[in-house]
Structures are given as structure tokens and as C-alpha cells.
């Protein structure tokens, strides 16, 4: 009788959630077993799970699930199974009076009379445990829902943010494209203006200039006897001024025409380009005794006429800016530089100071007086324009007194 009274006290303590696992142990030992777990069928997920507070067997342990289901089907069932609390295998006996709850004694040998008593109260315990589980499930569902809502809200916010920055990016890109096409239009217009201007200037200026030169020549011829030395000297100055002006106009026209549309870009062998440039400079070459070296030059993608102009300007500078008493040596070489050819035109002339390396590529930029070296200061500006027209870049390496090397890049093949 005393055993039953203790049993009932332990069972009533089992209904309270606090210290349930300790009470379960006491109850098990009171019945002659090592431990006790009550499984109830979860109505939501339709699997047996240990009631809240009992030692937890692995909820997804297939062997335990099979054991508990088998017990609920047969009413009583026995097996040796791993028990998570001790980590060892134990003989377990399961009892069930209904298909929705299972009483499991782990280890030992449970007393049949006491077991029957617990089994009688099992339906009542099951109601308590399932009610607890419903509350827990409801709480879990609420918290899951809250988490999901928070996550959704955060995702919605970041989506909105991403959408907004994508929108801003599109607007920025539109603006940049508009600015670019405006710039391209402006550039095209200014190129056209320049071409128109240069064509008009060359035609309109060359004409009166020719007239000035021919009348000067006429005066010199017809009045040769009547002119004194001073007058002849003045006429000489006027004639060379007219000649210089004519050259200047031609150079400006060359500079402007680099940008004209009627350019044909094809594969051009650089050797023929250099030979043609040397041909055009043959008089200067023979006057100075200059040596021009080149070998193994590649073909590049470009405009033949512009390339001849480019090499002619560079080689002519190499010869012109010679050191007194030093025979000019100009060398043209090319090295493979990945996507393009790097060409070098070097000389043994007077050199250029670091401070002047940039400015010499500007229009009318000269470092010397015309008395020292003749020229208009347009040659290198035209070279830069030609190289940029070909998608390349140009720079110079030099030191005063020890020659200069002009480098530039040209495309190996059409882009
Ligand atoms: N190879 C070089 N060695 C030393 N100085 C140079 C060399 N090439 C150019 N320069 C300097 O840069 C200036 C500009 O060169 P650029 O070819 O534009 O003009 P230019 O030769 O004086 O006249 P143009 O070429 O129009 O007849 C030159 O006046 C000269 O001072
Ligand atoms: Mg020049």
C-alpha cells in the first residue's frame, strides 16, 4: 500500500513541469527500472516525441521511433536500444494502453503491478503533456512567424534599397551617356569647324601670299640694276617671311586634316612607311650625312598617309636637332608589347630637358629660336594627333645632351 502511495505522489509530482526529469528517475527506480520516458503522439507532425521535461531520446532516431510506434501498436514491446542519457545500449520495455502515448522503462526490470498503475494514469498524463506541447508548439509557431516576418521585412528593405541604388545607377549612367554623346557631338562639330577653317585659311591665305612672293621676285628681277644692297636685303627678308608663312599654313592644314573622315585603316607594313618618309627627307639626309637605321619592323593597323607623316616628322626632328659636329643617327625599332607594338624613334641629338617633355607636344611649342633651328612647332602636335587617331599614346624619354627617344604605341590588328 505504501508503495502505491509513493507511486501516486511521484506521479502527481510528474504533472508539474519543474524537476520533471528528476521525478521521472525517482519514479523509474521506484518501479525497479533505471529511467523512464513518456512519449506522446504530436498531433501536428504525427510522430512520437518525449513529453516535455523527460530525458530526450533523439527525436529523429529512427530506431526509437520504430520502437515506440511498435509499442503503441502492440501494447507492449521490448528492445535493446542506445539511450542518449548514458550513451550506452539498454534493454527498454515499452507499454501502451492507447495508440497516442507510450510509457518506456529503460534498464532494470519494472514491477508489473506498479507498471499497471502508471499505465492506468497514462491517459490523464497524456492530456497534460499534450496540452503543454500545444502551448509550446503555439509559442514556437509564433516565434517562427515573428522571425519569418522580420526576415521578410529585412529582405523587403534590402530589396528596396537595391532597387533604389539600381535606379540611381541607371540615372547616373544615362547622364554619363548623355554627357558623352554631347561631348562626341561637340568634338565632331569642332573637328568639322577646324577642317573648314583650315581649308578656307589655306586657300584664302596661300593665294595673296603667292602674289606677294611673285611680285617680290618680279621686283628683284626687273629692278635688279636700280636696287642697292639694303633694298635687296629687305626683299630677301620679305621673301623668306612669305616662304615661312606658306610652310606654316601647310603645317596647320596637315594638323587639321588628321581628323578628317576619309581615312582608310588597313594593315600597313611599317618598313615601307619609313622608306617613304626617308625618301621625302632625302635632301636633308644627304645634306647632313645622317644615318637612319631600322630593321624587322612589323605591320600595324593604320592609315598609310598619316603614318608616313608621323615618321617623317619624328625622323626629321631627329636629324634637325643634332649636336654641332655630330653626324645624326636615327634608329627606328619596334617591340611586341602585348596587345600592341611599342615603337621607338631615337636619335643622338641635343636632347630635351625633363621640364619640357610634355609641352613640346603642344601646337607652336618650340624650345629654340628659329635662328638656331628652323620650324613652326606643329610637327610633334601633329604626331600626337595622328597617334591618338590610331588609339595609341606617345611619350618621350630624354636628357639634355644625350639624345632623345620618342615612344608610341600602335595597334597590331583591328580592335
Ligand atoms: N628629337 C628632338 N631632339 C631635341 N628636341 C626636339 C626633338 N624633337 C622635338 N624637339 C623640340 O620640340 C619642339 C617641338 O617639336 P616640333 O616637331 O613640334 O616642332 P619643330 O620641329 O620645331 O617644327 P615643325 O616640326 O613644325 O617644323 C622643337 O622645336 C624642339 O625644341
Ligand atoms: Mg618638327
Residues 229 and 278 reside in one and the same domain: no
Write out pLDDT tens, residues 197-252: 777 877 788 888 888 999 999 998 898 888 888 998 999 999 988 888 888 888 88
Q: Which atom of ligand 1 lies nearest, measured to the CA of 351?
A: 4
Residues in a beta bridge with 252: none
Residues 275 and 393 reside in one and the same domain: yes
pLDDT of residue 173: 95
Q: Which of 255, 369, 379 to mutate to test the pocket of ligand 1 (most atoms within 8 A of CB)?
A: 379
Task: Specify if 158 maps to a domain.
Answer: no
Residues 274 and 398 reside in one and the same domain: yes
Task: Specify if 229 maps to a domain.
Answer: yes
pLDDT of residue 86: 73
pLDDT of residue 321: 94
DSSP one-letter string for 260-280: -S----EEEEHHHHHHHHHHH
pLDDT of residue 327: 96
- Report the chain's mean pLDDT, rounded to a whole number: 89
Task: Specify if 372 maps to a domain.
Answer: yes
Residues 42 and 116 reside in one and the same domain: yes
Task: Specify if 383 maps to a domain.
Answer: yes
Residue 379: CB within 6 Å of ligand 1? yes
* Residue 369 pLDDT level (bands cut at 50, 70, 90): confident
Residues 189 and 289 reside in one and the same domain: no
Q: What percent of the chain has pLDDT over 90?
A: 51
Q: What's the rounded mean pLDDT across residues 371-393?
A: 92
* Residue 58 pLDDT level (bands cut at 50, 70, 90): low
Last residue of a domain, one of 141, 160, 190: 141
Residue-number span of the structural domain to which 35 is assigned: 2-141
Write out pLDDT tens, residues 311-361: 999 999 999 999 999 999 999 999 999 889 999 999 999 999 999 999 999
The Å distance, Cα 194 to ligand 1 centre, comes to 23
Q: Which of 319, 366, 382, 408 to mutate to test the pocket of ligand 1 (most atoms within 8 A of CB)?
A: 366
Q: What is the count of structural domains for the chain?
A: 3
pLDDT of residue 132: 83
Last residue of a domain, one of 141, 159, 193: 141
pTM: 0.59
CA distance 250 to 331: 27
Residue 377: CB within 6 Å of ligand 1? yes
Task: Specify if 156 maps to a domain.
Answer: no
Residues 342 and 363 reside in one and the same domain: yes
CATH number where 251 lies:
1.10.287
CA distance 77 to 186: 93
Q: Which residues crowd ion ligand 2, with CB under 5 Å?
A: 317, 379
Last residue of a domain, one of 96, 119, 141: 141
pLDDT of residue 57: 66
The Å distance, Cα 393 to ligand 2 centre, comes to 18
Residues 184 and 253 reside in one and the same domain: yes
Nearest CA to ligand 1 atom 4: 351
Residues 210 and 309 reside in one and the same domain: no
Q: Which of 247, 292, 318, 321 to mutate to test the pocket of ligand 1 (most atoms within 8 A of CB)?
A: 321
- The number of angstroms, rounded, from the C-alpha of 27 to the middle of its chain's C-alpha atoms is 70
Residues 376 and 293 reside in one and the same domain: yes
The Å distance, Cα 18 to ligand 1 centre, comes to 99
291-294/329-337 β-pairing: parallel
Question: 50-54, 175-179, 190-194 — which is least confidently predicted?
Answer: 190-194
Task: Specify if 231 maps to a domain.
Answer: yes
Residues 284 and 401 reside in one and the same domain: yes
Ligand nearest to the CA of 361: 1
Task: Specify if 208 maps to a domain.
Answer: yes
Quickly count: other Cβ atoms within 10 Å of residue 76's Cβ: 14
Write out pLDDT tens, residues 7-54: 999 998 888 877 888 999 999 999 999 999 999 988 777 888 888 888
Q: Which atom of ligand 1 lies nearest, measured to the CA of 361?
A: 18
Q: Which residues contact 289 (CB under 8 A, 6 or more apart)?
A: 327, 328
* Residue 169 pLDDT level (bands cut at 50, 70, 90): very high
Residue 366: CB within 6 Å of ligand 1? yes
The Å distance, Cα 366 to ligand 1 centre, comes to 6
The Å distance, Cα 182 to ligand 2 centre, comes to 34
Q: Label each residue of 302-355 as H, E or C.
A: ECHHHHHHHHHHHHHHHHHCCCCCCCCEEEEEEEEECCEEEEEEEECCCCCCHH
**Between residues 123 and 59, the one the model is more confident about:** 123
Residues 247 and 274 reside in one and the same domain: no
Q: Which atom of ligand 1 lies nearest, measured to the CA of 379?
A: 25
Residues 271 and 232 reside in one and the same domain: no
Task: Specify if 313 maps to a domain.
Answer: yes
Amino acid at each position: 500500500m505504501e508503495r502505491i502511495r509513493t507511486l501516486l505522489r511521484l506521479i502527481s509530482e510528474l504533472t508539474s513541469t519543474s524537476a520533471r526529469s528528476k521525478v521521472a528517475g525517482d519514479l523509474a527506480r521506484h518501479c525497479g527500472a533505471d529511467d523512464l520516458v513518456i512519449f506522446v503522439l504530436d498531433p501536428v507532425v504525427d510522430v512520437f516525441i518525449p513529453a516535455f521535461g523527460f530525458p530526450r531520446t533523439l527525436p529523429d532516431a529512427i530506431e526509437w521511433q520504430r520502437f515506440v510506434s511498435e509499442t503503441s501498436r502492440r501494447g507492449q514491446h521490448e528492445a535493446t536500444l542506445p539511450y542518449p542519457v548514458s550513451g550506452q545500449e539498454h534493454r527498454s520495455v515499452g507499454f501502451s494502453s492507447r495508440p497516442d502515448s507510450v510509457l518506456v522503462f529503460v534498464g532494470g526490470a519494472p514491477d508489473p503491478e506498479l507498471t499497471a498503475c502508471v499505465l492506468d494514469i497514462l491517459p490523464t498524463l497524456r492530456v497534460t503533456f499534450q496540452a503543454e506541447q500545444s502551448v509550446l508548439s503555439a509559442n514556437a509557431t509564433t516565434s517562427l512567424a515573428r522571425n519569418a516576418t522580420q526576415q521578410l521585412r529585412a529582405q523587403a528593405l534590402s530589396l528596396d534599397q537595391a532597387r533604389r541604388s539600381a535606379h540611381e545607377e541607371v540615372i547616373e549612367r544615362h547622364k554619363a551617356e548623355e554627357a558623352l554623346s554631347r561631348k562626341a557631338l561637340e568634338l565632331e562639330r569642332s573637328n568639322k569647324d577646324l577642317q573648314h577653317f583650315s581649308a578656307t585659311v589655306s586657300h584664302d591665305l596661300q593665294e595673296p601670299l603667292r602674289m606677294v612672293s611673285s611680285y617680290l621676285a618680279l621686283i628683284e628681277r626687273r629692278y635688279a640694276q636700280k636696287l642697292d644692297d639694303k633694298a635687296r636685303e629687305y626683299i630677301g627678308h620679305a621673301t623668306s617671311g612669305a616662304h615661312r608663312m606658306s610652310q606654316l599654313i601647310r603645317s596647320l592644314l596637315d594638323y587639321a586634316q588628321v581628323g578628317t573622315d576619309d581615312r582608310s585603316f588597313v594593315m600597313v607594313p611599317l618598313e615601307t612607311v619609313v622608306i617613304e618618309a626617308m625618301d621625302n627627307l632625302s635632301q636633308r639626309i644627304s645634306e647632313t650625312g645622317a644615318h637612319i637605321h631600322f630593321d624587322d619592323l612589323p605591320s600595324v593597323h593604320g592609315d598609310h598617309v598619316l603614318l608616313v607623316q608621323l615618321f617623317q616628322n619624328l625622323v626629321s626632328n631627329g636629324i634637325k636637332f643634332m649636336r654641332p659636329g655630330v653626324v645624326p643617327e636615327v634608329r627606328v625599332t619596334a617591340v611586341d608589347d602585348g596587345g600592341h607594338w611599342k615603337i621607338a624613334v631615337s636619335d643622338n641629338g641635343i636632347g630635351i630637358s625633363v621640364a619640357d617633355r610634355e609641352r613640346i607636344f603642344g601646337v607652336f611649342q618650340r624650345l629654340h629660336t628659329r635662328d638656331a633651328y628652323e620650324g613652326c612647332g606643329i610637327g610633334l602636335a601633329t604626331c600626337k594627333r595622328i597617334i591618338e587617331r590610331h588609339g595609341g599614346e606617345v611619350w618621350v624619354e630624354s636628357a639634355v645632351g644625350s639624345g632623345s627617344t620618342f615612344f608610341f604605341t600602335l595597334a597590331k590588328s583591328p580592335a
